[in-house]
Amino acid sequence: MLRTLRLPLLASLLAFGALTSCNKDDSDGLMVIAHDESVYMRNMHEGMAMMEAMPKTGDPDNDYSTMMIMHHQIAIKNSQEELKSGKSAEMKAMAQSIIDKQLAEITQFNAFLAGHPAHAPAVPEFNALQMMNMMQMMKAVDLRPLTGDPDFDFAQLMIDHHQAAVENSDALLKYGRENATKTLAQQIITDQKMEIKMLQDFLLANKKY
């Protein structure tokens, strides 16, 4: 009888030891927070809801301009949060630069829209590509392990946000018809690719795992 009790007891002790060992290893690794605890993520999801609800005209230059205004507004809100909550001078400088550049670009997009009524022929291929890029952005940010460190999380999410802007700008260069929007798109590609590299360098220098 004693022998039959010893084996289950030994197995239980071994299992408990393995569990506590696993928890200890986890505590030494990457610490994460729930996404709904992140102001940055809440801003991203609110912005995505606005972009999904955006009426489409079928005119690629107009729809690019309208969506990029909304897309820029997300970046500005998250950059303002970084200025408020961040500790890194490098990331706060990046946030201020993003605010300055993207407010100026919003002014240019609004000026374009004011003088450019949407017109045929419609280009549904552009709208499909534009929304696919936005959905891919949200999948990317939803997969990010957020740490609760405002500087680190700002850098992670801004990379994905910028990548979507680059891809939408590439789509505009392919399907757009107006020199004004194509010039803006090329400038966004150049600026945001450079910023993506700076953000990646920051993450590599401040790894959490």
Neighbouring residues of 6: CB distance < 8 A, sequence distance ≥ 6:
none
User: Structural domain boundaries of the chain?
Assistant: 1-30, 35-205
Higher pLDDT, 117 or 31: 117
Higher pLDDT, 21 or 164: 164
pLDDT tens column, 6-39: 444 434 433 333 333 333 334 455 778 888 889 9
Question: What pLDDT is attached to residue 190?
Answer: 98
DSSP letter for each residue of 36-61: GG-HHHHHHHHHHHHHHHPPP-S-HH
User: Is the pLDDT reported for residue 2 higher than 80?
Assistant: no
pLDDT tens column, 73-114: 999 999 999 999 999 999 999 999 999 999 999 999 999 999
Q: Which two tokens stand for residue 86?
A: 């961040």
Question: What pLDDT is attached to residue 37?
Answer: 86
Question: What pLDDT is attached to residue 25?
Answer: 36
Question: What pLDDT is attached to residue 166?
Answer: 98
% pLDDT > 70, the chain:
85
Q: Are 82 and 154 in contact (CB under 8 A)?
A: yes
Question: What pLDDT is attached to residue 75?
Answer: 98
User: Is the pLDDT reported for residue 198 higher than 90?
Assistant: yes
Question: What pLDDT is attached to residue 4?
Answer: 42
DSSP letter for each residue of the chain: -HHHHHHHHHHHHHHHHHHHHHHHHHHTS-----GGG-HHHHHHHHHHHHHHHPPP-S-HHHHHHHHHHHHHHHHHHHHHHHHHH---HHHHHHHHHHHHHHHHHHHHHHHHHHT----SSP-HHHHHHHHHHHHHHHHHHHTS---S-HHHHHHHHHHHHHHHHHHHHHHHHHH---HHHHHHHHHHHHHHHHHHHHHHHHHHHT---
Average pLDDT on 140-162 reads: 95
Question: What pLDDT is attached to residue 127?
Answer: 96
Q: What is the pTM of this model?
A: 0.84
Q: CA 85, 91, 97, 98 torsion: positive or negative?
A: negative
CATH class of 35-205: mainly alpha
Question: What pLDDT is attached to residue 35?
Answer: 84
Question: What pLDDT is attached to residue 29?
Answer: 58
Question: What pLDDT is attached to residue 59?
Answer: 98
Average pLDDT on 39-55 reads: 94
